[in-house]
Amino acid sequence: MIDKKIINFQSKLRLKFNNVNLLKQSLVHKSFNNTENNEKMEFLGDRVLGLVLSVFLLKNFPNEKEGIIDKKFANLVNKKTCSFIAKDLNIKEFMYLGDSYKGQSRSDEKILSDGLEALIGAIFLDKGLKISEEFILKNWKKYLDKSDYTMIDSKTQLQEYSLKKYKELPKYKVHKQSGPQHSPVFKVEVHIKNSKKIVATGNSIKKAQQNAAKKLLIDLNI
CATH number at residue 190: 3.30.160.20
The answer to whether residues 154 and 217 touch, using CB atoms and an 8 Å cutoff, is yes
* Separation of alpha carbons 115 and 83, rounded Å: 9
- Calculate mean pLDDT across residues 141-169: 81
The secondary structure of 54-82 as a DSSP string is HHHHHHH-TTS-HHHHHHHHHHHHSHHHH
Q: Do 15 and 48 sit in the same domain of this protein?
A: yes
- Calculate mean pLDDT across residues 132-147: 89
The pLDDT value recorded for residue 117 is 97
pLDDT in tens, 32-87: 888 889 999 999 999 999 999 999 999 988 887 787 788 889 889 998 899 999 99
Distances (CA, A) of 141 to 56, 92, 113, 119: 11, 21, 17, 17
**Angle, helix 39-60 to helix 108-127, in steps of 10 degrees:** 80
Total domain count for the chain? 2
Write out the catalytic residue numbers.
Answer: 46, 117
The pLDDT value recorded for residue 75 is 87
- Which of 150, 130, 136, 173 lies closest to 69 in space, CA to CA? 150
SS3 191: strand
The pLDDT value recorded for residue 42 is 96
**Angle, helix 79-88 to helix 108-127, in steps of 10 degrees:** 70
Q: Which domain covers residue 86, as residue numbers?
A: 4-150
The pLDDT value recorded for residue 152 is 60
Examine the fold and report which residue of 118, 150, 182 is the final residue of a domain before the chain moves on: 150
pLDDT in tens, 84-127: 999 999 999 999 888 766 655 545 888 999 999 999 999 999 99
Q: Do 162 and 137 sit in the same domain of this protein?
A: no
- Calculate mean pLDDT across residues 133-141: 96
Examine the fold and report which residue of 123, 150, 177 is the final residue of a domain before the chain moves on: 150
Q: Do 72 and 180 sit in the same domain of this protein?
A: no
Instruction: Tell me which of 148 and 159 has the higher pLDDT.
Output: 159
Examine the fold and report which residue of 125, 150, 175 is the final residue of a domain before the chain moves on: 150
* Separation of alpha carbons 161 and 213, rounded Å: 11
pLDDT in tens, 164-207: 999 999 999 999 888 887 788 999 999 999 999 999 999 889 88
